[in-house]
Structure 1
Amino acid sequence: MRVGILTGGGDCPGLNAVIRAVTLALLHADAATEVWGIQRGFWGLMADRLQPLTAASVRDLLDEGGTVLGTHNRADPFAWQGHDASGQALDCLTRHGIDALVVIGGDGSLTIGDRFSRLGVPMVGVPKTIDNDIEHNERSFGFDSAVAVVAEALTRLKTTAQSHQRVMVLETMGRNAGWIALEGGLAGGADAILIPEQPFDLDRLTARLQARVQEQGHALVCVAEGATLSDGTQFWQTGSGVARLGGIGQALTDALAQRLPGTEVRGTLLGHLQRGGAPTAFDRVLSTRFGVAAAQALRDGAFGHTIALQGDRCVRVPLSAVSGRQRRVPLDDPLSDCARVLGALD
């Protein structure tokens, strides 16, 4: 068997650990298997950019951040630069004799993978997103690493907030799903957590922060980039000609500074710090489990499925069940209830 592996979408801690696990598991099961890495996601199929992966080349990747294969978060062969280049990608697979493909990616990459699967490409998916928002999957690798960064940032911001009696606003990733802000906010002791799934009222937020400042002299706000005001307002940035959710941290900092006279309000944007660096021990183990499960699915011929974590077990879910869908924070989720009981979430 000759297997291709690609990493699509944004980078995150744990990608290299999955590449390592898939490769080592396949080679351990059958030394005659060949594993090829496709560079920069689906772009590599269109550009014919492949590289061999061996046990020696992947063995030390477990704790390395990023992806040695590179990635491209806008390389959709079905809509590439105004035309359908999927045939070009299929030709690449045929030319190199790739018998099966492992797609490691988020909802966008898995949706593309599902389309290729429907065209007859033997395909197994591995869910990747620090946002933790892939349907039918309880935990994505990279998420724990991102939450750890948020929690540490809030812990550090708390000391300066206490010293200067400030309100500190921290903006995290989370366009449509607020898992990072919710879990990171709980781990970092945020006084207010703002997520896309729960629109917030600025007057109520101001009153809550006033109470916290009077009680303890400072306050911490953890806000997801896609958080929404109760009137439906969201904040967008248009750098590089592409509109992206973001900027709510600074907008909220400015608004609170006006509403909290006599209290200094400062904002911090974590941005890509949440994506970078080595994966946590949890993510290294989860990535390894996903990679081994993907290799076994390939050997079993369970194509057209993605691996998912359910009840601490790696299971196989049809790609069609996750394609084009997102797992958002339910308002009755135990974490939401916990934050609400603590007064951090409306």
Structure 2
Amino acid sequence: MALAQIGRIGVLTSGGDCAGLNAVIRAVTARAVNHYGLQVYGILDGTLGLMERPLRYVELAPSTFDGRIFREGGTVLGTTNKGDPFRFPMADGSVRDRSQDFGDGVRELGLDALVVIGGDGSMSIVSRLCHAVGVGMVGVPKTIDNDVHGTDFSIGHATAVGVVTDAMDRLQPTAASHHRVMIVEVMGRDAGYIAMQGGIAGGADVVLVPEIPYSMDGVATAIRKVLDRGRTHALVVVAEGVKRDDGTVVHLPASTRYGGIGHWLGERIADTTHTETRVTILGHVQRGGSPSPQDRLLASAFGVHAVDLVMRGQLDRMVAWRNLSVVDVPLSEVTIGARPLDPNGTLATTAHGLGIYIGDTEAAG
């Protein structure tokens, strides 16, 4: 699409929220309006804003951002991580393909392109929608898990790691005071980036992630080694998606949602090491709060580059961060599922080099 054909773009957030989303929306708006003279419409609650009638949206302008909003966590546009538009759950229990409703909304609003801020799952769905209705999109990667292919960092990850590190800084003194093993359960259903980076930065003695198998004997041995060296406490970080050592999944009571591995692990550590244990589940605290400086910078660079791609007609691409620069990659290369942590990569090797038990792999020793 030629530059002259672009007059109105939409921006939406999809999937789980995280810190830094408002900074992206601000950057998209500033670049589109101030530099290109475009109209920018923020779509409310992700794809729902274009599927529902009347349409739900708000026109955005640089004046919308009063200096406070981009410092806030969450998203002023709202988001959703429920309801695949191709199999949308209806009130009567049936499912219906509502992709046409999405397309009708795009046409009614007169959008020439969409900037979609999402993770690998939500970008995959919206990309299919855009192809089905004939509108181009540019993706902006955001996820606290940092598991999007094609980019070194995704928006929200640095802030989440900061939350984990801060929590461990606060838990260490109380662990030392009471001679306890403190276990911190963090988010990470399929990928262990938050656990591994937060564990390294927070001085953990044990870090367990979904990608690396472990044994309770290995965990217990690691903790005993710490205590035998004269330290009176230990710190453990575990991602929510980690399974029991027999390979079975831990779910919250009466739920299909991940969670509870921290308490299961705490009981086993207490039984095998005869230490007092306490468990802290950080949960959605990792998604909230003011975005870190790194996330604000990343969001700003991504938002500006996304608009530039739209204006150059380079659609169906995702902005990315590689080697200290903002670049872009085809959406087809990133919407292929979650990117796992490399069990033998730099993070794992670093953890092993520090003496952190991370499981039973070559990198883990």
Equivalent in 139, 142, 146 of residue 153 of structure 2: 139
Residue by residue over 1:150-171, the C-alpha shift from the partner in whole angstroms, topping out at 9 and shown as x without a partner, is 0011111110111111000000
Equivalent in 44, 52, 59 of residue 39 of structure 1: 44
Q: How does 1:241-320 map to 2 (within 5 A)?
A: 243-261=256-274, 263-320=275-332
Residue 160 of structure 1 corresponds to 174
Seen in structure 2, the aligned counterparts of structure 1 residues 83 and 143 have a Cα distance that, compared at 3 Å, is: same
Separation of aligned partners in 2, 1:97 and 1:238: 46
Seen in structure 2, the aligned counterparts of structure 1 residues 88 and 238 have a Cα distance that, compared at 3 Å, is: farther
Residue 56 of structure 1 corresponds to 63
- Opposite residue 140 of structure 2, the aligned amino acid is V
TM-score (norm 2): 0.91
- Opposite residue 78 of structure 1, the aligned amino acid is F
Separation of aligned partners in 2, 1:72 and 1:206: 41
Stretch of structure 1 that moved more, 310-319 or 274-283: 310-319
Q: Residue 116 of structure 1: CA displacement? A: 2.3
- Opposite residue 38 of structure 1, the aligned amino acid is I
Q: Residue 267 of structure 1: CA displacement? A: 0.5
* SS of corresponding position for 1:244: coil
* SS of corresponding position for 1:6: strand
- Opposite residue 246 of structure 2, the aligned amino acid is D
- Opposite residue 49 of structure 1, the aligned amino acid is R
Residue by residue over 1:301-337, the C-alpha shift from the partner in whole angstroms, topping out at 9 and shown as x without a partner, is 1111111111122111111111132111111211110
Residue 219 of structure 1 corresponds to 234
Residue by residue over 1:28-69, the C-alpha shift from the partner in whole angstroms, topping out at 9 and shown as x without a partner, is 1122x1100100001111112111111111252321111000
Residue 207 of structure 2 corresponds to 193
Seen in structure 2, the aligned counterparts of structure 1 residues 167 and 151 have a Cα distance that, compared at 3 Å, is: same
Whether the 8 Å contact between 1:6 and 1:39 is mirrored in structure 2 is: yes
Separation of aligned partners in 2, 1:27 and 1:303: 19
Whether the 8 Å contact between 2:244 and 2:261 is mirrored in structure 1 is: no
Separation of aligned partners in 2, 1:7 and 1:302: 20
Separation of aligned partners in 2, 1:51 and 1:99: 16
* SS of corresponding position for 2:263: helix
Separation of aligned partners in 2, 1:91 and 1:80: 16
Separation of aligned partners in 2, 1:254 and 1:276: 29
- Opposite residue 136 of structure 1, the aligned amino acid is G
Separation of aligned partners in 2, 1:166 and 1:66: 34
Give the count of matched residue pairs.
Answer: 342
- Opposite residue 338 of structure 1, the aligned amino acid is T
Provide the aligned C-alpha RMSD in A.
1.2
Stretch of structure 1 that moved more, 208-217 or 272-281: 208-217
- Opposite residue 49 of structure 2, the aligned amino acid is G
Separation of aligned partners in 2, 1:260 and 1:147: 28
Seen in structure 2, the aligned counterparts of structure 1 residues 111 and 238 have a Cα distance that, compared at 3 Å, is: farther
* SS of corresponding position for 1:279: coil
Gapped regions of structure 1 (runs ≥ 5): none
Pair 1:339 & 2:346 matched? no
Pair 1:104 & 2:117 matched? yes
Equivalent in 207, 210, 214 of residue 224 of structure 2: 210
TM-score (norm 1): 0.96
Whether the 8 Å contact between 1:174 and 1:181 is mirrored in structure 2 is: yes
- Opposite residue 291 of structure 1, the aligned amino acid is G
Q: Residue 212 of structure 1: CA displacement? A: 1.2
Residue 3 of structure 2 corresponds to none
* SS of corresponding position for 2:329: strand
- Opposite residue 149 of structure 1, the aligned amino acid is V
Separation of aligned partners in 2, 1:80 and 1:116: 13
Separation of aligned partners in 1, 2:165 and 2:22: 24
Separation of aligned partners in 1, 2:23 and 2:114: 17
- Opposite residue 112 of structure 1, the aligned amino acid is I
Q: Residue 79 of structure 1: CA displacement? A: 1.6
- Opposite residue 340 of structure 2, the aligned amino acid is R
Q: Residue 238 of structure 1: CA displacement? A: 5.4
Percent identity between the aligned chains? 45
Residue by residue over 1:161-182, the C-alpha shift from the partner in whole angstroms, topping out at 9 and shown as x without a partner, is 1111100000000001000000
* SS of corresponding position for 1:236: coil
Pair 1:183 & 2:197 matched? yes
Gapped regions of structure 2 (runs ≥ 5): 1-6, 90-94, 360-365
Pair 1:15 & 2:21 matched? yes
* SS of corresponding position for 2:70: coil
Separation of aligned partners in 2, 1:104 and 1:75: 17
* SS of corresponding position for 2:22: helix
- Opposite residue 51 of structure 1, the aligned amino acid is V
- Opposite residue 140 of structure 1, the aligned amino acid is S
